[in-house]
A and B are shown apart, each in its own frame.
Chain A
Amino acid sequence: MLPKLLVFAYPDEAQVYLNQFPAKTLFQLKSIHCLINEKENVYTLITGSGFENVSVAISVFFERYNHLRENILCFNIGIAGSYGQPLYSVFYTSKITNYHTLKSFYPDVFIKTSMAELMSILFPANKKIMKHYPAALFDMEAFAFANTCRFFVKNHQIHCIKFVSDKDGKISDMFQLLEQYEHKAPEILSIIYQIEQQVNKFFKCNNTKVIYDTTIAQTFSQKMRLTFSQQNQLNKAIQYYLHQHSKDSLDTIFQSALNTEIKSKQERNQVFQQILNKLYNV
């Protein structure tokens, strides 16, 4: 199970997921609140709204949990306005644009679900602004979320899922909105699981790095007193050899060399070169 970071602007947006993944507080810093559900490996980060808040919160999170960078999946979940998209529907964002600079971030899309483009704006978008991009969603965090995450993780780990809350920047019935938002949580979770599944599948299938027992190579290195550079060359050659041959045949190559008595650096270098030649089939 890959670690997941769910980023929300407001506690109200996070609540339904906190009900799903009961969590304890990891840290709280002014408006930033970070919680963890250890069983599901889910981190919830409530940032406060706006570009700056989200950037600061994500930076603080990765400063503290740097070790998660390798494989954590980051999701920005929350509400967004849209003039043209159906109210209370859920979209995975295929393009995230800064409304003010028109710079875009293109998430690595690899699932099949409803998608829409998203505009991130520094202030709440009104009807006039939304009407200009009728198919787009409008929020106040996603661009900063993506741009900050990119400092810490790879693009395929950055995703944004939004729920259409209004058509003109005005929420008429907050109670109904929250009810509908809660109702759509399973759909959002299903997108998250799809993403997790695909990423997991890829990295499981492609983890073909040859892992080998280094004991014999280390014994050889020590006995021959190989230089640091020679040790690196040797490791590379072993990787190459093991792509094509069995581990047993590797041991045989080293056994004969280990029985050789070395009296000078020159002899050491000769034996080392012979080993390299054997490993590279020269």
Chain B
Amino acid sequence: MYKHLIYIEEKIAHHPATQRITESLRPAQIVYIQHYKEVLNQTNSHWLFNKEYQKIILAKRENEFYYKGSYLTPTFGFKHFYYNTLAINCLFHCEYCYLQGMYNTPHLVLFLNNQDFIQSTQQLIHQSKEKIYLALSYDTDLVALERYYPYCKEWMWFANNEPRLTIEIRTKSHQIDDIISLTPADNIILSFTLSPEEIQKKYEPFTTKLEQRINALKKAIDKGFRVMICVDPLIYSAEFQTIYSKFLNDVFREIAPKRLYAASIGVFRMNKNFFKRIKKNGNPSDIYYYNYVTENKMVSYPKNIRREMIMFVQNILSQKGVKNIHIYD
């Protein structure tokens, strides 16, 4: 993260959160912009170079405060599955992440009008008669951004008063002390993405270690939160079975499976245009050299490998006694 300079949209310049963030970051240079897309969507950028010097853009979202869930994400049995975008891009740099192909630059956009998102969601809940599942920001790691803006806290306060809304906060961060100090509720799900140590070291270099994530997860369960583990994406290798069976044994040595609310499994998959763009951007990871197949505009492993991986992990989870297993295949 390059904190010497930050971009601020003129319309959000006097927002209290803007003042708070600029006071804490103390950038030497503030560049005022009309719209965050001027910087985020600037063409001709070297994505990986800019990731090294990622900057923060403080912005105000004008519309589209929630979206219908993508066909690439599991819906967890909810008929009304939504997600929102409270921030764009991520502090972490996971090599398999679709964000590398989604935007022209990796700069981190923080929408500071969180209350507008909340109000808009409130209207959606009142219009709908059924339960709603809302994934908070799949396009970032919100928990890791809590130090800049208390997104999770504000949404958890909101969810506490909206029983028809279930929110999911998904993270690879272990810094959850602040958010688990709030009152737990059945409609707040904390999801932890877990990967084997080998995968974490190789493909998720800036994220916290598996051990730290497990500790965070345990703390959340102890505080009474509903916790889901996401073994997603599964990454194929010759030693796949050895790696994942050891990994799941390690996880369940620390956590009693029955204490988990759910588990979600999915293999590596990506929109084919994002995949092409990431390759074009020059990502040197071996992930982008595999012999994938493209089905329904989605790049993933061949069907037999997908099935083998899913079955293998699903069987272990079932044997361990995990109840709700959601699969994306």
Q: Are B289 and A237 in contact (CB under 8 A)?
A: yes
Residues on the A chain within 8 Å of B45, using CB: 108, 154-156
Q: Are A239 and B5 in contact (CB under 8 A)?
A: no
Q: Are A110 and B53 in contact (CB under 8 A)?
A: yes
Main SS of chain A's interface residues? mixed
Residues on the B chain within 8 Å of A210, using CB: 284
Residues on the A chain within 8 Å of B28, using CB: 112, 115
A225 sits at the interface (CB 8 A)? no
Taking the closest CB of chain A, its distance from the CB of B238, in whole angstroms, is: 4
Q: Are A155 and B42 in contact (CB under 8 A)?
A: yes
Q: Which of B39, B42, B49, B285 has the most A CB atoms < 10 Å from its CB?
A: B49
Q: Are A239 and B42 in contact (CB under 8 A)?
A: no
Query: Looking across the interface, which residue of chain B has its beta carbon closest to that of A238?
Result: B289
Q: Are A115 and B291 in contact (CB under 8 A)?
A: no
Interface residue ranges of B228-281 to A (CB < 8 Å): 236-238
Taking the closest CB of chain A, its distance from the CB of B292, in whole angstroms, is: 10
Q: Are A243 and B286 in contact (CB under 8 A)?
A: yes
Q: Are B291 and A110 in contact (CB under 8 A)?
A: no
Task: Sort chain A's interface into a size bin.
Answer: 20 to 34
Query: Looking across the interface, which residue of chain B has its beta carbon closest to that of A203?
Result: B49
A243 to B289 Cα, complex, angstroms: 9
A117 sits at the interface (CB 8 A)? yes
Taking the closest CB of chain B, its distance from the CB of A11, in whole angstroms, is: 30
Q: Are B291 and A109 in contact (CB under 8 A)?
A: no
Interface residue ranges of B33-55 to A (CB < 8 Å): 33, 38-39, 42, 44-46, 48-50, 52-53, 55
B71 sits at the interface (CB 8 A)? no
A155 in contact with B44 given A240-B289, A244-B237, A281-B237 (CB within 8 Å): yes
A114 to B194 Cα, complex, angstroms: 43
Interface string of A232-262 (1 = CB under 8 A from B): 0100110110011000000000000000000
A206 sits at the interface (CB 8 A)? yes
Among the listed A115, A156, A233, A280, which residue makes an inter-chain contact with B5, where contact means beta carbons less than 8 Å apart?
A115
A112 to B291 Cα, complex, angstroms: 43
Among the listed B7, B39, B290, which residue makes an inter-chain contact with A240, where contact means beta carbons less than 8 Å apart?
B290
Q: Are A209 and B284 in contact (CB under 8 A)?
A: yes
A44 to B286 Cα, complex, angstroms: 41
Q: Are B31 and A237 in contact (CB under 8 A)?
A: no
A265 sits at the interface (CB 8 A)? no
Taking the closest CB of chain A, its distance from the CB of B285, in whole angstroms, is: 8
B4 sits at the interface (CB 8 A)? yes
Q: Are B5 and A94 in contact (CB under 8 A)?
A: yes
Residues on the A chain within 8 Å of B50, using CB: 108, 156
Given A237-B291, A239-B286, 19 further pairs, Cβ under 8 A: A94-B29, A104-B38, A108-B50, A109-B4, A115-B28, A150-B44, A154-B44, A154-B45, A154-B46, A156-B50, A202-B52, A206-B48, A209-B284, A210-B284, A237-B289, A239-B289, A240-B286, A240-B291, A280-B291
9 contacts between A and B (CB under 8 A): A109-B29, A112-B4, A155-B44, A156-B50, A210-B284, A237-B289, A237-B291, A239-B286, A276-B291
